[in-house]
Structure 1
Amino acid sequence: MRTFLYLGLFFVLFPILSHAQTATLLWETQTYTPPFYKGASLYSDGGTIYAEVYVSNSSYSKESMSYKWIKDGVVLGSLSGVGKSSLITSGPRFLGDYILEVKVSDPEGIEFTSSALLIETKDPKIVFYETDPLLGSLFHRSIKSNGDFPNSSQIQAIPYFLSTQSIHSELLSYSWNLNGKSVAGVGNTPSFLSMRVEGEDSSVLNVSLSVAHSQNFLQDARGRLNLTIEGNSRRSLFGL
């Protein structure tokens, strides 16, 4: 008798659970990452959040359902309403975070599912890569400090998670520094830096870079590393 009771409960509950209407909230931000980057773009201070909710196993179209968007407990009235399954809104400020929530109602106004997530601010960062005359930038292997390089080497710096579609955008300004002195990047591609030691002895170069966003003072990426460059026949540092 007990076995039949359990089986009966299973067959009653299974159709209900298998057709549960659940909401999945997804978001993204349009910050820069290099080609073939396998991770997600992370949100940095002052950027924009793009969010959309998907409701599974619903008999209603997404256009007929009503959506109430809530940011840290505050209802976003102008962004909520019938058919508003997605939104564009500002992200957290000053290295903060917030909870973004959406409540979904049927055409009669009865709420039946919801979803929420935490959006956090991440600092932009700079990663340095070696370049090859034939292969270009070697994005599969970043440069670590205290690396050894042949003379006339070139590196590229990638500022991750800045609000731009191109690292050579006019919105970004690059400030390179070699051994305490300001130097320029390579022409119209300021993310590249050429280095050469003219002298028989190798030389250790202290390389630092800051990248600022002209329309968002909260986005500022910085990076530094030490490189040993092989020498040749003369004794002066190129560009210094």
Structure 2
Amino acid sequence: MNNIYKKNFLIILFFTFIFSISVAISSVQAQISDFGDIDIIFLEISPENPRPQELVRASIESFSIDLDRASQITWLINGIVIDRGVGVKEVTFNVGNLGSRSVVEVIVQSIERGAINKSVTIRPTEVDLLWQADSYTPPLYKGKALPSSDAEITAIAIPQFINSNGRKLKISELIFTWEKDGKILNRESGRGKDTIKIRGPKTFRQTVIRAYVSSADSALQGRGYALISPVSPKIIFYENDPILGIKYEKAIINIFNLLNKEVMITAHPYFFSSQERTNSDFDYSWKVDGSKVSSSPDDESSIVLRQAGKGEGAAKIAFSIQNVNKILQSAQSSFSVIFGGAREDIPFNF
């Protein structure tokens, strides 16, 4: 009986061994067959998403065949030969206008595998990325609102995508993927999301924003980017006339000649995180010849200067501002008020 059990055990062990070998062989064969699907030639386009009429570089490389030993390499654009020869592994050309299509094809006459071809279709697109900081600038300011440290920034992507039918795609038809400093912003990305709000960089740092845009079928793709650097906020002084208002056309730089008995000077906090000139998050400080004085009762960013007596002289007016919630947003500036031609100190009433 024991011999019968031993024979049965040996038979089972033998078939188990045969089955294991079969599975192992099948596994090896499956892995080898996967290599047959690997591309023989890699065709690279740079830039990957060209703009209309942009110069493009197309190049090939291979880890399976020796391109330098190929008898001939032929390059075609939309079926027209643009270059051919031995060792021609790259070409340059200009793509067409918006809505056009360029079919890039390369044919390699290789020693190892004969004729091998590879092609890619290029459809030019355009994505402009505009941005502006949510920072203070005075009314009718012609420049751009720039970001100081930690300022909020609004960015908008403006794509120009024209399909094969010549129709410009709407924002709602496009998918936007936003990226900040290499990190994808999933919540801000999606269909029709062409605008984002982010916090800008701190002082001495930079932020890179990228917007990747594609049509729903991925036939059209493009991208835009912006490099944002913070600026130091600054203070600009203006005379605030009771009748004409703030004289934005003439900033006070270094020296102000007092021609009337009384004058109001208003400080503007350029590029601070605020939509208004005055903000409860700001700490204001006015000084005259080093001594702290009060601001205008109704406006902490303004000061009223009055000559207390007769005489000539000068006084140094200094102003500083600090954003209490963003400690790196601060600025200070000063100017001199001149009475007559003398350079002596004179008293003021505030």
TM-score by length of 1: 0.84
Change (3 A) 1:136 1:16: same
Report the residue type matching 2:129 in the other structure: L
Partner-residue secondary structure (3-state), 2:209 = strand
137-146 or 189-198, larger mean C-alpha shift: 189-198
Instruction: Answer yes or no: is the 8 Å Cα contact 2:125–2:220 preserved in 1.
Output: no
Q: Does 1:42 align with 2:151?
A: no
Larger radius of gyration: 2
Once residues 110 and 75 of structure 1 are traced to their aligned partners in structure 2, the CA distance between those partners, rounded to angstroms, is 22
- 2:331 is matched with which residue? 221
Once residues 312 and 205 of structure 2 are traced to their aligned partners in structure 1, the CA distance between those partners, rounded to angstroms, is 45
Moved over 4 A (4+): none
Give the CA deviation at 1:39.
1.0
Among residues 292, 302, 306, which one is paired with 1:192 in the alignment? 302
Among residues 305, 314, 327, which one is paired with 1:204 in the alignment? 314
Give the CA deviation at 1:24.
1.0
Give the CA deviation at 1:106.
1.9
State the percentage of identical aligned residues.
Answer: 27
Once residues 147 and 83 of structure 1 are traced to their aligned partners in structure 2, the CA distance between those partners, rounded to angstroms, is 52
Which fold has the larger relative contact order, with Cα–Cα distance below 8 Å and residues 6 or more apart in sequence?
Answer: 1
Partner-residue secondary structure (3-state), 2:327 = strand
- 1:78 is matched with which residue? 187
The count of corresponding residues between Structure 1 and Structure 2 is 226
Q: Does 1:238 align with 2:348?
A: yes
Report the residue type matching 1:140 in the other structure: E
Change (3 A) 1:33 1:51: same
Among residues 179, 187, 192, which one is paired with 2:289 in the alignment? 179
Once residues 213 and 308 of structure 2 are traced to their aligned partners in structure 1, the CA distance between those partners, rounded to angstroms, is 67
Instruction: Answer yes or no: is the 8 Å Cα contact 1:183–1:239 preserved in 2.
Output: no
Per-residue CA deviation, residues 191-233 of structure 1 (Å, 9 max, x unaligned), is 11111232332221111111122322221121111121359xx
Q: Any stretches of 5+ residues in structure 1 without a counterpart?
A: 1-8
Instruction: Answer yes or no: is the 8 Å Cα contact 1:197–1:203 preserved in 2.
Output: no
Give the CA deviation at 1:166.
1.5
Give the CA deviation at 1:18.
4.2
Instruction: Answer yes or no: is the 8 Å Cα contact 2:132–2:154 preserved in 1.
Output: yes
Q: Any stretches of 5+ residues in structure 2 without a counterpart?
A: 1-79, 81-92, 100-123, 164-168
Among residues 200, 205, 209, which one is paired with 1:100 in the alignment? 209
